[in-house]
Structure 1
Amino acid sequence: MQGADLCLLSSDFVRFLVYTNILFLISPVFADMVTLGKPIHSHPLEDENAAPVVSVSEDSKTLDAFLRLIYPVESPAFTTLGEVQDVLEATLKYQGNSVIMKPVTDALHSFLPTHALSIFAIACRFDLESEARIAAIAAGLDPRRPTTNFGYVAEMDHISAGAYFRLRWYFWRGPTHDADRRDVYWRRFSFINRNPADCVLPRKLETYNTTKTANADAATTVDVLTTWLGFGLFKRRPADLILRSSDGVAFSAHGFSLSISSPVLARQIEELSASLTESLPVVDVPEPSPLLYLLLCSCYGIPLQLVKGGNGQAVSLSQLSKLVHVARKYGMTRTVDQARMLFRCSLKDEPLRAYFIAVSLGWHSEAQTAARLAVTESSISYVYTPSMEDVSAKAYYNLLQYDVDVQCAADAVVQRYSAKRTLNSGWYPQDSGRTLPELRTFIVHRSTDKLFHTIAQREFGYMKDGKGGDVYMPNLLAESRNMEVELQAAINQVELAFN
């Protein structure tokens, strides 16, 4: 191409000659790539006057379509949604202006009649709220929208569980009879980043969670430095270095204690040289003071406790999750193990929230336990927790599928007990010929025993049909105990997916 002054090399080694004056006008990123030192090279056998070459990560098909949107040539023809997604990703990566964003979004809209859910996921992935809203409305109005598989499509692997929840919430809540209120509600509703006014949490619970988190954070930010010094760790052995947080709080510490807890900090301390203006060497870390304080407590063996109570330093679930991520960064395996043990104690308190946190931390056994507690205690279909924002939508889909599988396993047990009596005939007065007082000696009736509705309903049905005689409480309690054991065994056999 005559006059071209730059060559773009695609990932599959196809070269595109371009004019930089046009390219730089449309994409400031390309301008920076050249002016700020993006590797530029020429083939050794080529003419030394040939255009310099810049390698890019896009393949030739994507790069061709992207460049066609920039230059006055024939527009690209998109045949699949995947092609549009690739060009959209390149457009956002290179900060293409509205001149090329408009035809890309128009191409997205052309697939709305058949791929609304996929377009919603693509829009969420690339933080395009208006496009996500358009796709959600199109999917909601489509009578052919699939109701199976929880409306999940492969593109949702790349969005948050929170965004996926809000899409399901939108479908579930639907229009109200008050059009004005409906318009106000949905106008404030956000699919990608949650608006706290969306009512997905009951107001009391929203206030409680906000207050609880704020109190937990306040407990560690009021004066963490004073609290740290108040432990008396430096009375016998003075501090020999300063660990300074991102918000400028300087924690006194012992280099030896930090080194044996963290190999990463040990290397930083070894490379450290004392400052001329400070009496102690300073290690700067990017963590804020509340988090650094908890990390130091763990290094020095100061016990951590969850916010709900107990001795030690109070930690919320969200802080515990952040602590684990930071401890892994610094190679502090003992801190991770301590946090994991503490986390296990919280599973029964907030199982749904704990499930998503466990998934985000890669703790599969804890996630399985939390999921089992969550689905057996109450319905999870339209229940929100803030920890959804930190994991993929696939984690939420897996939980919904697990809920269905658990229900199927439980239903199989329930159906068996509702169909017929499961104890042998000697347990039933009308079949055994024994008197009720004699049979009562077989079972000790405890006031704490459970009586399952399924079994009681079956017996009342027998009585109504004249088949079962008197309702004999010890029988019902014995069957209920057996049924509870079988239910638990059936539920425990259901596996939670982590793919």
Structure 2
Amino acid sequence: MFAARQDSMPTSSTTLRSPLDDLFNQASADITLRTSDHVDLHVHTQILSQASPVFSTILSLPQPQACGQAAGAVASDRPVIDVSEDSKTLRPLLRLCYPVDKEVITDLDHIVLVYKVALKYEMDWPLRLLERDDLIGMAPRSPLQVWAIAAQSGAEELARKACSEIRRGASLTSGKSGPDVLDTMLEEDKYDSLQGVRAGDYFRLREYLKDGDDSGHELLQSDRGVPFTYPKRHFVPHISSPDLYVYGRASSDVKHCVHGAILACHSPILADKIDAAKAVQSTTVSATSTEHLESGTSAERHLPVLELDVEPNTLHNLLAVCYKGTEALPDTLSSLAALVAAAGKLGMTQVRALADVAWQTAASENALEAYFVALQHKLESYAATAARKVLEKPLERGWYTSAMESSPAMAYQRLLDYYQACARRVNEELRRVAEHCRTQVARKSVSVYDRGRYTTAAVYDRERITNYLQEVGRKTTTEGPVAGRDDELSLTALLRRTCPGGGEDSHSSMWPPSYSDYSHNLLNTMLDTGATLQSSLDDVIAKVSRIPLQSGRGVWSNQGVLQVTLEIAS
């Protein structure tokens, strides 16, 4: 980000330039910010510290003195801090910290750059000024880009203004909904605006544009604090005499006493690591003071130490499953995904297999959460399976999961693209089948004599089936490409469509016109019977199996059910 250093005389390849205005070239300035394009901005530490807690922290440390300055500098003993921003971005931001007129910026991309640097240095007052005087004014012309910067910074009022402009644009576009207009904007933007945005905020934007109701609902996640951290837990094996210390990533203060042989049995990778740790232990004296065993004994022993590149809570779960099996498996998708990933990386085949079964069960209950969690842990094949399961429910009907708040917006966009592509393909296939049905039935239609005239049978049946399939296809975009399709596309459902409920068209059917009502009733009765026959047989068998067994001969109960009896042989 930046670095304070003892300055050296500039070389010809890094010629330093003086600032272009007197504001950053005052004799009273007591520190220099050197930009990436080699411009020295001489500023006041008191103003900088008040404007930015980040600078306040760095300036509270002792600063080295500079040996040389650029031409035009008014003091040679100022400390120099190198920053990664160029002068075009940093100068207008610093002007916002001083009680002077701000620099006028008309280019949105330039405003966004300045705004992001203000975010980086946590400059609240410049952020508010940029929102109020620049970005809100840009919202009517570039609402998507303004919403994106608001989403990245948590600026609720700015996000609401941008969303209102997107919705206003939709109202001016004939035949297009808010989400349709948003999709067009995103395509034109090549989805750049979604970079750095959370899926949860993107979800709320789409919901806002669908519902049009902005009362009482926040568009951005309100809690953007420190991520949740698991409490430190020591794993205590139920077997005595552990001979190895294991700890996870950046958690050397939480060492687990375990048995090297048990871990080695679970993973050849760990077996090699354990052998190496023991070799080191046998030739060197541990620098760590003698530690008590987790089993509670007071014996002092030097044990080999093994550090694993695994998150501490996941390491605890890994060790627990190694010792206890399935009963130690975690029950949340996030913990299971972390366990699957860690077990795979360490070559713990059996642990991964157990975690995989538990994951599949949990993922089937909430496919949307499973999709995002799998991507967070780089389990692409698991995410693909979860995405396929998502097709069974309406995705864009308020389906939300908290995992969106820690996932990128592009992950949600890719899921939407996949979902809509599948819906289109299903719709196209159903339309193809519908047209095929129309063609096939038309080839084999017959004429029947009814009520003094001939009519073409199956015309109405053909159209009913065709229209029905087309109707199911249209619903795929709103109700899901897979949801309910098994029932809607079954043979039973298709046959029922040939049974009109009466009316003028009931006589133009493949069923004999003279007794079509009887035919329809017969077909529906057979379909109902076939749908329930097997389950009814299972029910009566289950009732018989619940009759208690007793010695003696079988007798008929008053319900007509034979009580099963046993003959007890001596």
Confirm or deny a common fold (TM above 0.5).
yes
Aligned partner (choices 240, 244, 248) of residue 243 of structure 2? 240
- Code of the residue aligned with 1:254 in structure 2: it is H
Q: 2:129 matched to which residue of 1?
A: 103
Cα distance, 1:117 vs structure 2: 3.3
Q: 1:303 matched to which residue of 2?
A: 325
Cα distance, 1:313 vs structure 2: 3.1
Aligned partner (choices 208, 220, 227) of residue 170 of structure 1? 208
Cα distance, 1:111 vs structure 2: 1.4
- Code of the residue aligned with 2:259 in structure 1: it is H
Contact 2:96 2:102 in 1 (8 A): yes
Contact 2:237 2:258 in 1 (8 A): no
Residues 268 and 73 of structure 1: is their aligned pair in 2 closer, same or farther, counting only changes over 3 Å? farther
Q: 1:314 and 1:23 mapped to 2: Cα distance?
A: 48
Contact 1:42 1:53 in 2 (8 A): no
Cα distance, 1:71 vs structure 2: 3.2
Q: 2:146 matched to which residue of 1?
A: 119
Q: Secondary structure at the match of 1:252?
A: strand
Q: 1:460 and 1:361 mapped to 2: Cα distance?
A: 53
- Asked which structure has the greater RCO (Cα within 8 Å, sep 6+), the reply is 1
Q: 1:158 matched to which residue of 2?
A: 196
Superposed, 1:402-481 pairs within 5 Å as 402-421=418-437, 450-451=490-491, 453=493, 457=497, 466=508
Contact 2:63 2:79 in 1 (8 A): no
Superposed, 1:150-299 pairs within 5 Å as 150=183, 152=186, 154-175=192-213, 183=215, 185-186=216-217, 189=218, 191-193=220-222, 229-230=237-238, 232=239, 234=240, 238-242=241-245, 251-255=256-260, 262=270, 273-276=287-290, 278=292, 279-280=300-301, 291-298=314-321
Q: 1:64 and 1:22 mapped to 2: Cα distance?
A: 14
Give the percent of matched residue pairs that are identical in Structure 1 and Structure 2.
26
Q: 1:334 matched to which residue of 2?
A: 348
Residues 139 and 192 of structure 1: is their aligned pair in 2 closer, same or farther, counting only changes over 3 Å? farther
Contact 1:417 1:455 in 2 (8 A): no
Of stretches 272-281 and 65-74 in structure 1, the one that deviates more from structure 2 is 272-281
Deviations 1:30-88 (A, max 9, x none): 34334436787666998993644321111222112112212355422222332222222
Contact 2:34 2:80 in 1 (8 A): yes
Residues 420 and 15 of structure 1: is their aligned pair in 2 closer, same or farther, counting only changes over 3 Å? same
Residues 40 and 402 of structure 1: is their aligned pair in 2 closer, same or farther, counting only changes over 3 Å? farther
The question of 1:57 aligning with 2:84 is answered yes
- Code of the residue aligned with 1:229 in structure 2: it is P
Residues 11 and 129 of structure 1: is their aligned pair in 2 closer, same or farther, counting only changes over 3 Å? same
Q: 1:386 and 1:121 mapped to 2: Cα distance?
A: 20
Of stretches 402-411 and 278-287 in structure 1, the one that deviates more from structure 2 is 278-287
- Code of the residue aligned with 1:415 in structure 2: it is R
Cα distance, 1:258 vs structure 2: 5.3
- Code of the residue aligned with 2:221 in structure 1: it is I
Deviations 1:395-441 (A, max 9, x none): 1111112111111101111111222328978x97969xxxxxxxxxx
Of stretches 359-368 and 389-398 in structure 1, the one that deviates more from structure 2 is 359-368
- Code of the residue aligned with 2:411 in structure 1: it is A
- Unmatched runs of 5 consecutive residues or more in structure 1: 176-181, 196-216, 305-310, 432-446, 478-499
Residues 361 and 13 of structure 1: is their aligned pair in 2 closer, same or farther, counting only changes over 3 Å? same
Q: 2:276 and 2:162 mapped to 1: Cα distance?
A: 51
Aligned partner (choices 173, 180, 199) of residue 147 of structure 1? 180
Residues 67 and 345 of structure 1: is their aligned pair in 2 closer, same or farther, counting only changes over 3 Å? same
Q: 1:87 and 1:392 mapped to 2: Cα distance?
A: 23
Q: 1:95 and 1:104 mapped to 2: Cα distance?
A: 13
Contact 1:5 1:20 in 2 (8 A): yes
Deviations 1:83-118 (A, max 9, x none): 2222222223223242x2332121221112233333
Residues 61 and 257 of structure 1: is their aligned pair in 2 closer, same or farther, counting only changes over 3 Å? farther
Q: Secondary structure at the match of 2:195?
A: helix
- Unmatched runs of 5 consecutive residues or more in structure 2: 1-24, 173-177, 225-229, 293-299, 448-486, 513-518, 528-570
Residues 420 and 39 of structure 1: is their aligned pair in 2 closer, same or farther, counting only changes over 3 Å? farther
Cα distance, 1:393 vs structure 2: 1.0
Q: Secondary structure at the match of 1:8?
A: strand
Cα distance, 1:384 vs structure 2: 0.9
Aligned partner (choices 27, 34, 40) of residue 9 of structure 1? 34
Q: Between Structure 1 and Structure 2, whose CA radius of gyration is higher?
A: 2
Residues 22 and 194 of structure 1: is their aligned pair in 2 closer, same or farther, counting only changes over 3 Å? closer
Q: Secondary structure at the match of 1:191?
A: coil
Q: 2:343 and 2:78 mapped to 1: Cα distance?
A: 49
Q: 2:61 matched to which residue of 1?
A: 36
Q: Secondary structure at the match of 2:140?
A: helix
- Code of the residue aligned with 2:392 in structure 1: it is T
Deviations 1:149-193 (A, max 9, x none): 547553222121112112222333333xxxxxx85x43xx46214
Of stretches 56-65 and 240-249 in structure 1, the one that deviates more from structure 2 is 240-249
- Code of the residue aligned with 1:191 in structure 2: it is L
Residues 348 and 423 of structure 1: is their aligned pair in 2 closer, same or farther, counting only changes over 3 Å? farther
Q: 2:16 matched to which residue of 1?
A: none
- Code of the residue aligned with 1:303 in structure 2: it is G
Residues 362 and 464 of structure 1: is their aligned pair in 2 closer, same or farther, counting only changes over 3 Å? farther
Contact 1:118 1:156 in 2 (8 A): no
Residues 20 and 353 of structure 1: is their aligned pair in 2 closer, same or farther, counting only changes over 3 Å? closer
Q: 2:98 and 2:424 mapped to 1: Cα distance?
A: 58
Contact 2:317 2:339 in 1 (8 A): yes
Residues 414 and 456 of structure 1: is their aligned pair in 2 closer, same or farther, counting only changes over 3 Å? farther
Contact 1:124 1:159 in 2 (8 A): yes
Q: 2:60 and 2:154 mapped to 1: Cα distance?
A: 28
Cα distance, 1:333 vs structure 2: 4.2
Residues 402 and 453 of structure 1: is their aligned pair in 2 closer, same or farther, counting only changes over 3 Å? farther
Superposed, 1:74-89 pairs within 5 Å as 74-89=101-116
Contact 1:240 1:254 in 2 (8 A): yes
Cα distance, 1:296 vs structure 2: 0.8
TM-score by length of 1: 0.65
Q: 2:376 matched to which residue of 1?
A: 360
Residues 190 and 378 of structure 1: is their aligned pair in 2 closer, same or farther, counting only changes over 3 Å? closer
